[in-house]
Structure formats: C-alpha cells, structure tokens
Structure 1
C-alpha cells in the first residue's frame, strides 16, 4: 500500500463494532521479516550497571535477572520499562501491529506512549489492541494519550477493552503481531516482565491464522462490550 494514499479513519474510544476489522490492511500479515526459524529469547540486561534491553538465547545470570527487576519496579525511575529489544525494533519498522492481552496493564500502555513520542519516525499504519475489562478505567487516560499521538501521525488505532478473563474464546496467553511475524509472551506482553521471562518469535502470522482469529475475536468483543468508563 502507498503510505501517502492510505485512508485515515480516527477511532472513537467508545469502540467500534466488528465491521472495523474490514478496514484493516491484512496484506501486511504476508510481509514476514523475522528470523528464518522460530526462536526463544530470554530477556535480560547487558550488566548490572548498564540499563538497557538485551535478548539472550540462553538463560541469563541470576544477578542480571535481579537487576532487571530493580529497574522495572523502581517507582522513582522515569525511564521506559525494559522489554524485549527485538520486539521494539520490529515495532518501529512495522506497518501493522496487533497486541492481544486480556491482562493488559497501564505500564504497557506507558511504554507504547513513549515509543510514539512526537518527532519519532513511524512506519505504522494500523494498531489493534485487545485488552480486558479489569483494568479499563486505569488504562483509559493512557489510551486517549496514545490515540492523540497516533492521530497526529495519521495512524488508525483500534482499542477493544472488553475481553473477559473468565470467558471463551479469549485465552490466557498474550501475543503480538508485527506485520507478518507472530510473537508469544510467557510473561507480560511485549516483554515488560519484572523477573525471568522468555519470548517466542519467528512464527508466520499469516500461517497462524491471525486474520480469521482477530476478526472473530473482534465480533465477540463487540457482543460483550460496554462503555469505556462503566
């Protein structure tokens, strides 16, 4: 799709129905730019004195797990939460992003807001976020801030916060999609876990059946949706 010619459709945070899925350019699911084979990444930091993300293919030392937890839990720290380095690199070059997490937390939304700060270049065209009812009120202010930033960048933003943790078909597992790559998270989505956690990446989102699942989940969300502040 030509980025200059795509249509822009701002989304009401009262949420849209299942027909909104029809506006998504699902062709991006066929644009796979991940590794040649699926892989498992253990999230860590380079050292106890270097505050930045590092992904490892082997289990990190206990000292680095402990230090990462300190940096991701310190309430005085205004730096972004440490996540999965490879995921954030993929997010910054992707046109379609899907985040599916019925336990989605405001901490994750804050990291996303940091990624979408003014002046930062994005290739993003569409972002779809599925979240659960439980934290809808605490997430609402950050959702509006994200929407405002993405509107300025002419990004279509779909936020669907009505998954119920006790109801089918929504799973416990968290996952995300960056264009054609499927990511599975053992802990917090996008790798924002405080302690030891692993991320599986390199799966084909198209072969995984993401389009059909998201369209069905979108319809189910619409059936049980409620006002943002109920």
Structure 2
C-alpha cells in the first residue's frame, strides 16, 4: 500500500487585494466623502469654486496614504514642485509636502523624480529644493529611536532632459500604484482625477520607476543643460 502524499500547502505571505478607487480633490464643502474628497465628477459650482481658489485643497486620501506608508514613497511628476501660475508659491508647496513627512512616518525610502526647476536667472533652485528635503530627513532620523531604519529622501531632476518620455504622473506607496491625471497629490485647480488600488509589481511600476531613476544624471544636481 502506498502512503498518501500530503497536498502542498502554500505558506507564502497572503497579500491583501487592493481596492480600486477613482477620486477627485475638492474645495471645502464640495466633497462627498468624510475627508472632503469626491468619489464622482464634481458639479459646476464645485468646478468654478476650485478654479477660482488661490489655494486648492489637495487630495486628502492620498496624503493620508502617505502618512501611513510603511516602506516606500516613490513619485514621478515633473510639476510636483511647480504650482500653477498665480496660485500659491513653490515654497508653500515644498513646505506642505515636507509637513506630510512627519516624525511618526515609518516609510524610509522616499524618492521623487521631477524636472529641473532651474532658470537662466537662478540655477540654484534644484539644489535649494534638495537641501530642504535632506535637512528634513536628518531631522526625522534625529527623532528616531536607536536601531530604527534611517530615512533617506532623494530627488532626481532628470525628467524632460534625460528622460523626456512621460506625460502622466505616478506615485508608488509601498506596493500600491497611484495614477494622477495632473499633479501628484491633487493640487491642480482644473477637473482632474486620481486612481488608486493598482498592484505596483503586477503592473510593472517598480521596474519602470527604477528604469527612470537609473537614467544618466546625478541625484540632486541640475540636469538642465542651459547655455
């Protein structure tokens, strides 16, 4: 009599299935979700209110996800640090993003791929942006308990120069892919949605980010070859 062979048991880590959502940022009083975001296209009064606002409300769901990130925050967006004309300022945008990377943040791998913001008149904008985030990383690390993973924030300014192939904007939070029709984080004043809940590995987002990151260029240096 042959011994019965025990069936193989899959002991791999169970991955919670991500839930797809499409979301719109909204001004105060115009969202239909508890956090102020919209789960459907805005109506005309909401559209006009947001278009005319000097400071647009970001997509709250996204920044909550940032706050809860455990490992990785990767962003691809040429205009993440570039507010719309006559709407707020670059420094306010930078400070808002820095404020979301608070001392209780667990994610330690933070990378942003954007375009150079340097101009002929000011060739130090990129370095100024990088310095602010590097100083914030030092602050975060100084607040960490001994033995915890060191936080690293890196920025590459190689879009539109070394990798001029991207139109849409993307973010990877841990293993979740976010797709934005406009600026990552939902800052734009025009009607623009974001989708979430995509498996970053399944859709090749991790490898794509690594491809863009690895293109020729120096982290934190001006990639814009101006005369």
- In the superposition, the TM-score normalised over structure 2's length comes to 0.69
Query: Is 1:112–2:97 an aligned residue pair?
Result: yes
Query: Is 1:88–2:63 an aligned residue pair?
Result: yes
Moved over 3 A (4+): 30-35, 134-140, 167-170, 224-230
C-alpha deviation, 1:209, in angstroms: 1.4
Cα pair distance change 1:205/1:113, threshold 3 Å:
same
Query: Is 1:212–2:212 an aligned residue pair?
Result: no
Identify the residue that residue 6 of structure 1 maps to in structure 2.
none
Could you list the per-position Cα deviations for residues 74-105 of structure 1 after superposition, in whole angstroms to 9, with x for gaps in the alignment? 5xxxxxx5211110010001021001012332
Could you list the per-position Cα deviations for residues 103-144 of structure 1 after superposition, in whole angstroms to 9, with x for gaps in the alignment? 332444332122235xx4211211010011245743542332
**Whose Rg is larger?**
2
Aligned ranges for residues 192-207 of structure 1 at < 5 Å?
192-207=187-202
Structure with more relative contact order (C-alpha pairs < 8 Å, separation 6 or more) = 1
Cα pair distance change 1:85/1:47, threshold 3 Å:
same
- In the superposition, the TM-score normalised over structure 1's length comes to 0.68
C-alpha deviation, 1:43, in angstroms: 1.7
Distance 1:132 1:212 in 2: 20
Paired residues of 1:33 and 1:180 also in contact (CA < 8 A)? no
Identify the residue that residue 228 of structure 1 maps to in structure 2.
222
Instruction: Name which of 44, 66, 69 aligns with 1:62.
Output: 44
C-alpha deviation, 1:146, in angstroms: 1.9
| Structure 2 unaligned spans of 5+ | 1-12, 83-89, 142-150
Identify the residue that residue 5 of structure 2 maps to in structure 1.
none
Indicate the RMSD between aligned Cα atoms, in angstroms.
3.1
C-alpha deviation, 1:194, in angstroms: 1.4
Distance 2:36 2:181 in 1: 17
Paired residues of 1:100 and 1:129 also in contact (CA < 8 A)? yes
Q: Secondary structure at the match of 1:206?
A: coil
Paired residues of 1:41 and 1:198 also in contact (CA < 8 A)? yes
Aligned ranges for residues 131-210 of structure 1 at < 5 Å?
131-135=114-118, 137-154=124-141, 155-164=151-160, 168=163, 170-210=165-205
Paired residues of 1:183 and 1:199 also in contact (CA < 8 A)? yes
Q: Secondary structure at the match of 2:73?
A: strand
C-alpha deviation, 1:53, in angstroms: 6.1
